[in-house]
């Protein structure tokens, strides 16, 4: 049996931009005192963004540099990692992976409100329709640790946070 060094789990919150990752991560960190790691912000703060990708209108991420920086943060557990990608993280980092989902109309409204238009808006809606992040999570992590959560309404938002809080409690009972 593998020895687990963490006394608190590490959680990955992933999904298409706009599905509610930051909102859920923030509420979760307030409830649990786990640390919210916004990967896009970490990348910016630690200069892990390389030159601009004109097609996707965002900078390239220097993944190796970012992973080196995050490795130490992940060691003792208690992290909520929030990112719209998941396959480049080491599998061993995470105890639970939550893929947040939103229906097309709600996602369209949220991304338009954020100022997304044209190709960027369409690409993100398609990413959600094609379940890109769900498939990425399912192919990168063991199926039993990947859970999909619908996040269209305020009620679902509260229930998703409760679901993850309860998952953390169960993890502690089973692993400590
Ligand atoms: P992400 O971090 O995945 O890009 P976000 O947390 O910034 O997404 O949320 C995008 C917008 O949607 C933001 O204005 C908050 C809102 N939102 C998030 N979850 C919601 C929910 N369950 N119901 C209604 N609005 C929600």
The interface predicted TM-score of the complex, written ipTM, equals 0.99
| pLDDT of 3 | 56
- pLDDT value of residue 50: 87
User: What are the pLDDT digits (tens) for 152-171?
Assistant: 999 999 999 999 999 999 99
pLDDT at 2: 52
**Measuring from each residue's beta carbon to the nearest atom of ligand 1, which residues come in under 6 Å?**
15, 17-23, 110, 151, 153-154, 156-157
Q: Is residue 7 part of a domain?
A: no
Tell whether 67 and 103 lie within a shared domain: no
The structure tokens listed for 80 are 């909520």
Task: Mark whether 130 and 158 lie in a shared domain.
Answer: yes
Are 101 and 165 part of one and the same domain? yes
Helices (H), the chain: 21-32, 39-45, 63-74, 104-113, 118-129, 132-140, 154-175
Cα 92 to middle of ligand 1, angstroms: 28
Predicted confidence (pLDDT) per residue in 4-59, tens digit = 579 999 999 999 999 999 999 999 999 999 999 999 999 999 999 988 777 767 78
Of 57, 49, 20, 36, which is closest to residue 159 (Cα–Cα)? 20
Q: Is residue 104 part of a domain?
A: yes
Binding-site positions for ATP read 18, 20-23, 114
Please report the atom of ligand 1 found closest to the CA of residue 25.
6
Q: Is 3 inside any structural domain?
A: no
Which of 79, 94, 129 lies at the terminal end of a domain, its last residue?
79
In the chain, the number of structural domains is 2
> Which residues carry a binding-site annotation?
18, 20-23, 114
CA–centroid distance, residue 17 to ligand 1 (Å): 9
164: domain CATH number is 3.40.50.300
Residues 50, 105 within the same domain: no
| Residue that terminates a domain, selected from 79, 105, 140 | 79
For the stretch 57-89, pLDDT in tens is 778 899 999 999 999 999 999 999 999 999 999
Pocket test for ligand 1, best of 12, 14, 15, 20 (most atoms within 8 A of CB): 20
Question: Is the per-residue pLDDT at 1 higher than 60?
Answer: no
Q: Do residues 66 and 132 both lie within one domain? A: no
CA angle in degrees (0–180, nearest 5) for 66-163-82: 15
Task: Provide the residue range defining the domain that includes 59.
Answer: 39-79
Q: Write out pLDDT tens, residues 95-113.
A: 999 999 999 999 999 999 9
Q: Are residues 166 and 117 in the same domain?
A: yes
Q: Residue 86 is encoded by which pair of tokens?
A: 């998941």
Residues 89 and 165 in one domain: yes
Indicate if 73 and 102 belong to the same structural domain: no
Same domain, 92 and 131: yes
Residue 151 pLDDT > 60, yes or no?
yes
Span from the CA of 110 to the centroid of ligand 1 (angstroms): 7
Helices 104-113 and 118-129 pack at an angle, to 10 degrees, of: 150
- Give tens-digit pLDDT for 110-136: 999 999 999 999 999 999 999 999 999
**CA 176 to CA 173: how far, in whole Å?**
6
65 inside domain: yes
Q: In terms of domains, do 52 and 123 share one?
A: no
pLDDT confidence of residue 56: 67
Q: How far is CA 41 from CA 2, 69, 104, 118, 146, in A?
A: 33, 13, 26, 25, 24
Q: From atom 26 of ligand 1, which residue's Cα is the shortest distance away?
A: 20
């Amino acid at each position: 049996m593998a020895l687990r060094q963490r006394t608190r789990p590490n959680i990955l919150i992933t999904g298409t931009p706009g599905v509610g990752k930051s909102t859920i991560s923030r509420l979760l960190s307030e409830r649990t005192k786990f640390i919210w790691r916004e990967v896009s912000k970490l990348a910016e703060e630690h200069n892990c963004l390389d030159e601009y990708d004109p097609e996707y209108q965002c900078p390239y991420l220097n993944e190796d540099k970012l992973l080196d920086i995050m490795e130490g943060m992940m060691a003792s557990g208690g992290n909520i990692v929030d990112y719209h990608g998941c396959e480049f993280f080491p599998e061993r980092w995470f105890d639970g992976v939550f893929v947040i989902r939103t229906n097309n109309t709600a996602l369209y409204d949220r991304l338009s409100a954020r100022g997304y238009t044209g190709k960027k808006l369409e690409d993100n809606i398609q990413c959600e329709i094609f379940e890109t992040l769900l498939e990425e999570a399912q192919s990168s992590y063991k199926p039993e640790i990947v859970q999909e959560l619908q996040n269209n309404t305020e009620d679902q938002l509260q229930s998703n946070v409760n679901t993850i809080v309860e998952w953390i409690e169960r993890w502690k009972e089973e692993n400590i």
